[in-house]
Structures are given as C-alpha cells and as structure tokens.
Amino acid sequence: MYDYVVVGAGSAGSVIAARLSEDPDVTVCLIEAGPADAAENIHVPAAFGKLLRTRYDWDYDTHEEPFLGRRRIYLPRGRVLGGTSSTNTMIYVRGNRIDFDEWGQPGWSYDELMPYFLRSEDNDRGASEYHAVGGPLAVSDGRSNNPMSEAFVEAAVQAGYHRNEDFNGAGQDGFGPFQVTQRDGRRCSAATAYLAPALGRGNLVVETDLQVHRVLVENGRAVGVTGGRFGEAVTVRASREVILSAGTYNSPQLLQLSGIGPAPLLTALGIPVVLDQPMVGRNLQDHTFVPLVYEHSQPISLISAGSPEHVERFLDEGRGPLTSNGPEAGGFIRTRDGIPAPDAEFLAAPVMFADSGLGTPTGHAISYGPTMIAPRSRGSVMTALDDPTAKPKIMHNYFADESDLDDAVEATRAGMRIARQAALKPFTDGPQQQPASDSDADLRDYIRHYAHSIFHAAGTCAMGSVVDAELRVLGVDSLRVVDASVMPTLVRGNPNAAVIAIAEKAADLIRGIAAPATAADADR
C-alpha cells in the first residue's frame, strides 16, 4: 500500500514521482513496463536510432491509414525509465503561446504555465526573461555543429525567411539551431533529470518490467492497479490516488481496460462498464513529417559518427558527431497569410533519413522537411481485445481534413525552394527522395506516399472531456491522468518540454500547492 501509485515512468511520470516524494511523509510507487535506462545507446545522443524496435520501444503502428494509401505508420514509444524522453531527438521547444491560451482551461494559459517551464529548466545560456537555471532538466546548445545544419539555416534565410536563435523566446517564426535536452553532450531524459536524484529516498519505490493491466475501481474510486511481471500477477494499492502517466496511446487503453470508456466498445469486448465515457481514446492528434532527402559526396554526415576519433572526442570532451540529436537545426513557417502562428516546423538532420528512421543510411546526405504542427484531423485509440497485453488499435486519420493536405503541399513546396538555394548546393548533388515536381498533383501524391508520423501524439484523455482542469478523471474519484493525452490540442512543436511542464503543474495540484505567480515563486 502506497499513498500514490504512478503508472508510467516517462516524461510525466518521472516528474510526478520525483516531486511527490519530496515530502518524506508521502509514499510513492512508480511503475514502468520497461527496464531501467542503463543501455549506453540511451545516453549517447546520436545512437537513438538503435533503440527503435528493441526492448526499449513499444513498437506500435497505426492500422491502415485511409488517406495515406492504406499504409500502416510506425509509431515508436519509449518503454524504459524516462519513456520517450530516453529515445527521442531531445529537441527543446515549448510550443506557441496561443497553444496553451486556446485550450481555454482555467490555470493552463501560457502565462500561468510559464513558471513551470522555468522551474524545470537549467539552461546553459543562463537566466533571462525566457529561460532559467538551476532546474532539473538540462537544456543546452548542440555540440555537434555539423556544417550541413548551418548551411540549411542559411539556405532558409536565402529563401526569404529570417533567422531565429531562440524558438522559446519572443517569437517562434524563423530558422536556426535547436536547443536540446543534454548535459555535457549526453542525453538528459526525464529519468536522468528528475528520477535519478530521487532514487535514494526511502519513500519512493520504482518497479520496472511491470506492465499494468487495469486500474482497480471500487465504489467509484480508484484504489490501485493490477498487472504482470514475467508471468506473475502483481497488485499495488493506493490510499490517495492512482495517476496514469502511460502516454497518449497507453493511458486511454488502460482506462478502457478498466471499464472507463465507450460503453458499446467495452460491452462488445466483454469488459464490465464502470463508466460510460465516449471520449476516452478520441481526439487523437499527431504531427506528420514530409521527408526530403538529398545525397552528396561530402564525407561529413552522421554515418561516420562512430569512427574512433569521434568516439574519443565524445568521451574526452562531450562534443562532436556522437552528441548530435539528429535534427540539429530547423525552423517555423506559416504556409499562408492570416494565421495566428506557424503551422509547419522544419527539421533538418545531417544524415540520410530513410524508412521513418528504420532504414540504414547508404551514403552521405542531408534530410529535412516540414512537420505539420497545427493538424485539424483527428483519430482514435481503442483497445482491440480484453487482453491487456494486446496492442491497441490506433487510427490517426492523417489528412482526413483536406485542408491539412493543402497546408502540407505548401510547406513541402517551401522545402523544395530551400533546397535550390546556394548555401545548400554543396549538399544537394542529387535528390535521393523528393517529389517529381512542385506541382500540386505531384506534391499531393508524394505526401500520400511518404509522409509519416514524427511521433508527437496527444489528446486522447483531453481536459474538458475526459479529465477536468486539475487532471482528475471525470466520474471516478482518486484517479488522474498526467501526460500528453490531456492536451485538448497538440502544441506547435516537439511536445516533451510541454509534458514536463504539465507534470510540474500537476504535482502542485496533487500536493495542494498554490500555482506560482512568477518564475521566482516557482523556484522552490
């Protein structure tokens, strides 16, 4: 029996467990389906691709996507301490101010959430109006500095866009280098930042390799969870709350397996209905990426990152190609006039990016393209069987809204224009993968054949429909959801920073601590 049981040790769960266990009078059990984060490939930034489809990956995919030629789209999710923050590209982008303001949820505006971003941050640029030092999460400038990354930014400037040195500063538009969640050139995941310093506390227990199957609900109240480890049934009970931080795909599946979800589905699967909640698993959103790949003969891409001299530099200095997060540079654009914020984020990596990251680079190349960050299309996550070890049925419905495809056409056309600029000429000897032309027909055909997820799913347990503004599940006592699934709409940018800020705020809500009015108030 613990005071709090937290399910999922990813970006949110690591924060929640660390913050709640700061109180020595509170007991916390953090449960993770995957193993500890001991593998070296987790901590060497450029090695993140070697984690895909291994024991550290849930290895999901969509069912046949009706608007992408019935392709199934690969959806990696971290299954390890740190969750996807242990396997992602480490980009630190908070999102746009209007993302949070448009949620319309009390306490969740940009200004109200900003102190939590600052509380979490330890930025090597120092403290400023937009940044802080001293928080658990290390944020730093990249240390790879591949010439292709700067060439991409310069080409975007030549194409008419402006330079932006801080996407988390006064404005999001423009092109520049990304800051990353690294310390001294090594990955700083949520587990590294929050969980590792807390592991010595006697009131915090971390259970790995334990997959939760259901939340136990008695008389309308969550009282614990049940699951399995290596074939053995395990039950962990909570006297105060159960907190689901299992992610956008797994949190709604767990609710459904626990009898909280659309009654017709649960009844059809033979799952006893605890609460008919039709919106559990609905409102699924994601960012799609349109890859453009150009080959060249310059021997500077990341395929040589593992050479002895680069290994030595990484070990001695924490610098060089092995510190690369992949997409070292990028930018934000608006595909049309009159919209209030960027709707496309470019990601540029100095390597041949093939087959959603699952392919093997066969030569030197630069890969980049637009990520569509303001999607209108919505999908769903539904449990497929009453067996909790079965993967859920995920249908993103990418480009179900035709206007999403229109915007992607304009963003891809902008990407092809960047490729024609003088700064990229040394790195674009020939297209390895690009549309046949920049006509609408060829661009639409290319997008349907090659667009894929950039792994930013959100929205399936949204505030206002599944949980309230304090992230409590509507209709069930002592049960909360804290992860990307609670976002009513997906933020414009890589969501890891926002998820950590959400969890920081959730920890205060759970502890009954008043929200900080300023960054100084948050620094406690």
Buried b (16+ CB within 10 A) or exposed e, 47-78: bbbebeeeebbbebbbbebebbeebebbbbbb
The single residue of 131, 287, 310, 456 carrying the catalytic annotation is 456
Q: Which residues contact 406 (CB under 8 A, 6 or more apart)?
A: none
Query: Taking the C-alpha atoms of 200, 203, 206 and 212 in order, what is their torsion angle to the nearest 10 degrees?
Result: -170
Q: Which amino acid is at 81?
A: L
Helices 11-20 and 496-511 pack at an angle, to 10 degrees, of 30
For residue 237 the two structure tokens come to 């009970």
Contact 22, 203 (CB under 8 A): no
Query: What whole-number distance in Å separates Cα of residue 439 and Cα of residue 447?
Result: 12
Q: Which amino acid is at 201?
A: R
* Residue 456 appears among annotated catalytic residues: yes
Contact 249, 75 (CB under 8 A): yes
Q: Which helix (H) or strand (E) is 292 found in, with range?
A: strand 292-295
Please report the sign of the dihedral spanned by the C-alpha atoms of residue 464, residue 251, residue 86, residue 306.
negative
- Could you please report the per-residue DSSP string of 21-74? TTSTT--EEEE-SS--S--HHHHSGGGGGGGTTSTTB--EE-S-BTTTTTB--E
The residue whose two tokens read 């200004």 is 111
Query: What whole-number distance in Å separates Cα of residue 64 and Cα of residue 420?
Result: 35
Catalytic residues: 456
